[in-house]
Amino acid sequence: MSAPVPVDGRSDRAPRVAARPDIALMAGYHSPQLDVAVRLNTNESPYPPPPAFARALAAAVGEVAWNRYPDRRALALRAAIGALHGLDAEQVFVANGSNEVLQALLLAYGGPGRRAALFEPTYALHGHLARVTGTEVVVGDRRDDFTVAPDELERVVEGASPTVTFLCSPNNPTGTAEDPGLVATAVDLAARTGGLVCVDEAYAQFAEHRADGLVDDDVPLVVSRTYSKTWALAAARIGYLLAPRWVVVELEKVALPYHLDAVTQLAGRLALDHLDAMEERVGLIVAERRRIEAALDALPVRVWPSSANFVLFRPTTRSGDDVWHALVERSVLVRNCSSWPRLEGCLRVTVGTPDENTRFLDALAEVLAAGTDTDPSPEVAS
């Protein structure tokens, strides 16, 4: 038996095992977590859930049978979500955040020899999760206003026959919502080419148009949602998919046993008892989003109209990197999107509380008034 291969000059350690070559070349998906006074970079809700929710959850947790596994299929939560959307529990799949939902979708319908289509710039996890699951990624382009043109959609879907076509509406990080007609066209194309359309609606409650009402057992359409934004439960990590029954059956096969713990299931179900509070939060955030857009229009930046809880903009007198660092120096953190496809120099600000938004706007106006670039601090990475 041969001796272990030395590692770092030591012969008593086992050899390192290489990851899949494609995984080894990947970069992870991360957002900076810095100690700042105003954190507006991850599209969280600036408002907590109502106190009545916290009290109800605390009481329910006291009744949890901790020595028993949770409901493996999370049927009570799925039934409650289904009722919200006019669907049955069997048409709902629930997981730990919408990212796990999308991962399950690609585990079941992607993989080697299959393709996923997306339109850049868009949510980075669509492509990242596809590659992690060994799915080939086919990329289409968006127009200058960041919407998807019907002829580009047709070119990509008919040319590549993807098993999953991603449409993000409102799109992250641009905030643009897709026209309902485009979604219908995508579904028709998918039906002809043997694929599924996944409309990622993480920010749908902030927009006018939604695709959840189109979900049906005879339609190759799935719609993903999250509790992290409008339900103000980012810490709970709850996401779900509205889908035909035959899709949910396949997703349950790739989900880990008991993957959704008892407290998460309780939190998801109890949150739905506070629909009015959620809609009130949405109204406040939309009003503040409009205030931010109006204020940005008066500054030397390009602004893209948003249907989400964030706004994308590009400074025109200073580089995006320089503005990002200057804002951090003023204890304001936004998302630097400069490295994303077609978004050189762009920044994305999450809508916060009125006070947080004012502090951001004041800091940005001060930074832009300076008018010259400076060397970024080497201690801070964007």
Per residue in 164-173, pLDDT (tens digit) is 999 999 999 9
- Assign residue 321 a region: left if phi > 0, alpha if psi is -120 to 50, beta otherwise? alpha
Cα 259 off chain centre by: 20
CA 203 to CA 168: how far, in whole Å? 9
Q: Which residue has the higher pLDDT, 200 or 376?
A: 200
pLDDT score for 379? 38
**Chain mean pLDDT for the chain:** 92
- pLDDT of 251 > 90? The answer is yes
Considering the entire predicted model, what is its pTM? Answer: 0.90
Strand spans (E) along the chain: 38-40, 92-95, 115-120, 136-141, 164-168, 196-200, 221-226, 239-242, 301-304, 310-315, 332-336, 347-350
Read off the pLDDT of each residue in 221-240 and give the average, rounded to a whole number: 97
Structure confidence at residue 382 (pLDDT): 40
Domains of the chain, first to last: 22-48+277-370 (3.90.1150.10), 63-273 (3.40.640.10)
- What is the pairing mode between strands 136-141 and 221-226? unpaired
pLDDT at 3 exceeding the cut of 70: no
Answer yes or no: is pLDDT of 52 > 50: yes
Residue 11: its pLDDT value, please? 55
CA nearest to 217, candidates 241, 240, 245: 245
**pLDDT grade for 17, boundaries at 50, 70 and 90:** confident
